[in-house]
Amino acid sequence: MKGFKGYVGFMGLVLCSANAWADLPQSSILSRYGISTDQLPAPAKTDVSEPAEEKSRFQIQPEQPFVTLRLGDGKQPQTTGNLSIDRMAQQDLERCQRLQGEVVRRGGTYMPCDNSLPGMPNFE
């Protein structure tokens, strides 16, 4: 019984569609009023211009690396003129660079040798 109701509903839809199709005119609306397509007005002329490039609202910058690995930035300690102080600063720098190499080898994080914080500028 359920299939029969679906069939009756489908046939009703087909009949309504056929009735609506029969009511539509077979010729174009222009021919009913005696106008040809040549008599239609031309579309208004518009200036063709290239779209202006929109400025982005966001400042897009390249992605910064997650980790920056620097070993011994190549800076030598400041010389004071005192040989013992200069030699001690040089030994501290060499010791720190060896320690940096060991930390990197073990997979640790960067450790600066110039008493600065990573990511912060040096003020000298």
Whether 75 has a pLDDT exceeding 70, the answer reads no
Share of the chain above pLDDT 70, in %: 79
* 15-43 pLDDT, tens digit each: 888 888 777 777 777 777 888 888 888 88
- Considering the domain boundaries, does residue 98 fall inside one? yes
- Considering the domain boundaries, does residue 91 fall inside one? yes
- Considering the domain boundaries, does residue 112 fall inside one? yes
Identify whether the C-beta of residue 71 lies closer than 8 Å to the C-beta of residue 103. Answer: no
Nearest alpha-carbon partner for 113 in 80, 99, 79 = 99
b vs e for 59-82, b when ≥16 Cβ sit within 10 Å of the residue's Cβ?
eeeeeeeeeeeeeeeeeeeeeeee
Whether 7 has a pLDDT exceeding 80, the answer reads yes
Instruction: Label residue 123 by pLDDT band (50, 70, 90).
Output: low
pTM metric for this prediction: 0.35
Number of domains in the chain: 1
Cα separation, 77 vs 57, whole angstroms: 45
Q: What is the mean pLDDT of the chain?
A: 77
Predicted local confidence at residue 69, as pLDDT? 59
Predicted local confidence at residue 79, as pLDDT? 80
Higher model confidence: residue 46 or residue 12?
12
Nearest alpha-carbon partner for 71 in 94, 91, 88, 89 = 94
- Considering the domain boundaries, does residue 79 fall inside one? yes
- Considering the domain boundaries, does residue 53 fall inside one? no
Higher model confidence: residue 86 or residue 62?
86
Predicted local confidence at residue 68, as pLDDT? 65
- Considering the domain boundaries, does residue 122 fall inside one? no
Higher model confidence: residue 102 or residue 110?
102
Token readout for 71 is: 């070993």
- Considering the domain boundaries, does residue 8 fall inside one? no
Nearest alpha-carbon partner for 70 in 40, 44, 97 = 97
C-alpha distances out from residue 50 to 46, 53, 54, 56, 57, Å? 12, 9, 12, 18, 21
Predicted local confidence at residue 119, as pLDDT? 59
Identify whether the C-beta of residue 72 lies closer than 8 Å to the C-beta of residue 113. Answer: yes
Domain encompassing residue 79: 73-117
- Considering the domain boundaries, does residue 47 fall inside one? no
